[in-house]
Amino acid sequence: MMCDTMGDFLPNLWRNFIADLIPFVAAAAIVVITIAYYFWRKQHAFDEELFKQPPPRGECPICFLKMPLLSKEMWYRACCGKVMCIGCHYAMKKNRRICPFCRTPSAASNEWMKKLMKRVELNDAVAIYSLGCQYNTGRSGLEQDNKKAIELWLQAGELGHVAAYNSVGYAYNNGRGAKRDAKNAKYYYELAAMGGDVCARHNLGILEKRAGNMTRAMKHFMISAAGGHVTTLKEIRECYLDEDATKDEFEKALRAHKEAKDEMTSDQRDAAAAFYGEN
C-alpha cells in the first residue's frame, strides 16, 4: 500500500532510525561501563595497598627501642654500614668514640667521606641516601647539588630505603633540584608511605587536606599519628574542630600516638636531643 501522507512517512523514518541506533548505543554503554569499572577496580586495589597498616618500625640494634622518625635522629656508621639511634650515638661519643658494632674509632670528617664513598660503591642504600643528603645541603666538603641529591635518593629508594622516596617527594613538592610537581611529589610520598615511612604518610595527609579530600586526609593522618608523628596530632585536632574528624577519631589518635612515642622515648635520647639541639 502506498503511503498517502508525509505525516505517516516521517514517524516511520524516525522509528527505523532509532531502532537501528539501539544496538550501537547499548554497545557504547557497555564499553563505557566496562572502562569505568576497570578504573574503579584499579583505584580500589591501589587504595587497599596504600591504606593498609604499614610494616612495624625497626628497632635500634643497641638500645632495642623503636627507631626515631627523623633521619637526623638516627646515625649511620660509615665504618660498618650500621645505623643507631641518636641516644646511642650520644652515648658512644661520650665513651671514647668507638663504634659499638665494629670497634673502629670515629673518623675525622674527610676520612668519614672516604668511608662513606666505599659504602656507596658497595651499593649500600643508607650510604647512598646519606650521600644524597650531603649533596642536598652542601656538607662534608661537597658543593650543594639538589639535582644530584635526587638522583642518589632515587637510587637508594630502588634499593629499599623508603625515607629516600620521601625526600624525593619533598624535593618535587618544594621545587628543590626539580621543577615543582605536585603529581610527582604525591607519587613518591605514596611509595615511601607504603614502605612504612611515617613522615611521608603525614605529608600525604597534608596534600589531601589541601585538595579538600578530607576522608583520605584523615585516613593518612590516623596512620601517621599511630606512627608517632607529632605534627599530625595538630592536624587531626584542626580536623576535629572543623568537624572533619570525630571525637572518637581524635581520642584514638591521641592514644595511638602516645603508645608510639612511649616506644621511642628514653632519657638517653632526650639528653642527646638536648645536646645536639644546642650544638
Q: Which residues bind Zn ion (CB under 5 A)?
A: 60, 62-63, 77, 79-80, 85, 88, 99, 101-102, 104
Q: Least distance to Zn ion from the beta carbon of 36, Å? A: 51
- What is the nearest approach in angstroms of Zn ion to the Cβ of residue 272? 9
Between the alpha carbon of residue 206 and those of residues 69, 101, 253, 254, the distances in Å are: 17, 39, 16, 18
End-to-end CA distance of the chain: 105
The set of cell numbers assigned to 35 is 572502562
Neighbours of 114 (CB within 10 A): 10
**Minimum separation from the CB atom of position 263 to Zn ion (A):** 12
Minimum CB distance to Zn ion, residue 145 (Å): 28
Using the minimum distance from each CB to Zn ion, give the nearer residue, 11 or 56: 56
Contact assessment for residue 189 and residue 169, using Cβ atoms and an 8 Å cutoff:
yes
- Residue closer to Zn ion by CB (options 52, 97) is 97
Closest to Zn ion by CB, 80 or 142: 80
> 54 and 228 in contact (C-beta within 8 Å)?
no
60 versus 131: smaller Cβ distance to Zn ion: 60
- Calculated CA dihedral for residues 67, 69, 75, 80, nearest 10 degrees: 60
CB atoms within 10 A of CB 59: 13
Q: Give min distance, CB of 133 to Zn ion, in A.
A: 19
- Decide whether 63 or 254 has the Cβ nearer to Zn ion: 63
